[in-house]
Every structure is written in structure tokens, then in C-alpha cells.
Amino acid sequence: MCCFSGNVTFVASTRIFARMTEAGRQGLVYQMQFGAKEDLAIILPLPVAKEADEKALHFIDLSAYPDFFKHLRAGFPADPKPRAFAAAAGDTLEVKRVGSYDASFVPAVKDFERLDPRFRLPAETWKAIPLYADYGFAVFKLRSGTHEVHPMALTFPTRQPEQLFFPTVHIHDGKVHPEEHFDHALYCQVQRLGAGPLQGWQESADPASRFTKPGSAAKLIDPDEHVYRRRMVGEMKNEDIILATA
């Protein structure tokens, strides 16, 4: 979900990486370019295991590896230049410093009340997307201005151990539209074990160690596995991408 708590002037070149880092736990890395006139937050919904508590999500600092996605892209032929587009009750939650971000894990929709109002969406927005009623949410607080933020990274216990989840639903104006403009590059690593090509995805010619720095990626990248990529550009159905891995 490219979901912002306030108005943005543009969003472009969204990149998302996903991999099962261990049994029952998914890694996720997210990066984009954006502009905003005021401080706001990006909110990523996550299908966390239903028994997960506030400590279940682990934020990862990738500020020392800003070229994470640049290196992933090096494993594939060059793409066209990305295009920007206009954006249409209890204690407070723990806030962690993760590189240049302040980040929080919101265990459930009701827990948004424990965040600063600037960094949450109206309750009516969540009612429009009941799928997320029992999801958890990673919230990264962003500064105003025009930025390409360094990669945001985390791991979480997933309720879908045989699927990779990519948060791609768009909410830029507090409303959920049936279709939105996509400018996304999705990357993943999955063990195919002779299952043949991943339909709809392009496979790198070499394993990740040939064009990335796994040692700088906090074990999010498997150096021995190939990387898969899917480009999504244009008007598309406004929904998250779920990839079956088994």
C-alpha cells in the first residue's frame, strides 16, 4: 500500500523487495520518491500472524545501503526513466529510530489512536477496506519536501507462510479508488526448486551475489538465489500483490 497520512504532491519510482527470511517470517524493503508540503507518514499494511504482539515486527536500518534497489536493478536490462505523477486508547506506541526515520508498529487498526494524529488515516478510510481490519501496520514518518528516501526495511511474522505480500494498494487522498496509476518495480527471491519460471516475472541471469551486496543487507538478500522482477506501470486495479511461493 502506497498509503500516506497526508497530501503528497507526487510519488514516483516505487520499489518493493520481498523474501521469506526464515520459516514463517517475511522480509520487506520499500523505497520511493515523493514530495510533500508537510510532515506525514507512509503506512504499510502487513498480514501479520494473528497472535503477533507489539514486539513481533523488527525494523531494519538500511541507511548505510542506499543503493539496495539500484543494485537489484543492475541484475536486469535498463528500464525507461520513471515518471512522477500527481497524488490525487492506551499508552502511545513505541517509536524507534531507524536510519533517518521514526518508525512505529501499529498492531491493529484500533491502535492508530495511539499515534500522533498527523500520522494516521481517518477511521472512515479503514472502513472502506475491511480486508485490513485485522492487519498490522508499519508506519514510517517522513519529512516535508522532495525526497528519495533510503530503503525502509523490516521483517514480520506472516499469517501467509506460502505467499509473499507486496503492499501496493494506493491511498493518496484518504480515499480508495478502484484503479490507480502504478509506477512500481517489484523484486523477490523464491526457491523454485525445479518448478520452472515464475510466470509474469523476469529472472536475473545471475545469483544476487553478482550484482548486490548481501553483506550490507542484514540477511534480507540470499546471495545464492536469483532475483525476480515484475514491472507495473500505468492504470491498474488498485490492489495488493500476493505471490504464491509453493
At 75, the pLDDT band (50, 70, 90 cuts) reads very high
pLDDT beyond 80 at 197 = no
Q: Which residues of 125-159 are buried (b: 16+ CB within 10 A; e: fewer)?
A: bbeebeebeebbbbbbbbeeeeeebbbbbbbbbbb
**DSSP tag of 158:** B
Q: What is the distance between the alpha carbons of residues 28 and 202, in angstroms, rounded to a whole number?
A: 19
Long-range contacts of 125-132 (CB under 8 A, 24+ apart): 125/171, 125/174, 125/175, 125/176, 128/175, 128/176, 129/169, 129/176, 132/45
Segment holding 127, helix H or strand E: helix 123-127
CA distance 229 to 208: 12
Q: What does the pLDDT look like over 161-189, one tens digit per residue? A: 999 999 998 876 666 777 878 889 999 99
**Domains recognised in the chain with CATH numbers:** 2-244 (2.60.250)
Of 76-85, 161-170, 174-183, 232-241, give the lowest mean pLDDT range.
76-85
Q: What percent of the chain has pLDDT over 70?
A: 87
**How much is the pLDDT for 186?**
96
CA distance 107 to 182: 27
Euclidean distance between CA atoms 54 and 124, whole angstroms: 24
Question: Which among 13, 145, 151 is positioned nearest to 85, based on CA atoms?
Answer: 13
Look up the pTM and report it. 0.85
What is the average pLDDT score of the chain? 85
| pLDDT score for 167 | 92
> Is residue 225 predicted with pLDDT exceeding 50?
yes
User: Do residues 136 and 106 lie in contact, with contact meaning Cβ atoms separated by under 8 Å?
Assistant: yes
Least confident of 17-26, 113-122, 215-224: 113-122
The Cα 69–Cα 181 span in angstroms is 21
C-alpha distances in Å from residue 108, one per residue of 50, 118, 152, 170? 10, 18, 20, 19
pLDDT-based confidence at residue 206 (cuts at 50, 70, 90): very high
Please tell me the predicted confidence (pLDDT) of residue 192.
65
Least confident of 25-34, 111-120, 201-210: 111-120
For residue 196, the model assigns a pLDDT of 66
Q: What is the pLDDT of residue 88?
A: 35
Q: What is the pLDDT of residue 70?
A: 95
**Per-residue pLDDT, 78:** 66
Q: What are phi and psi of 132, to 5 degrees?
A: -95, 10
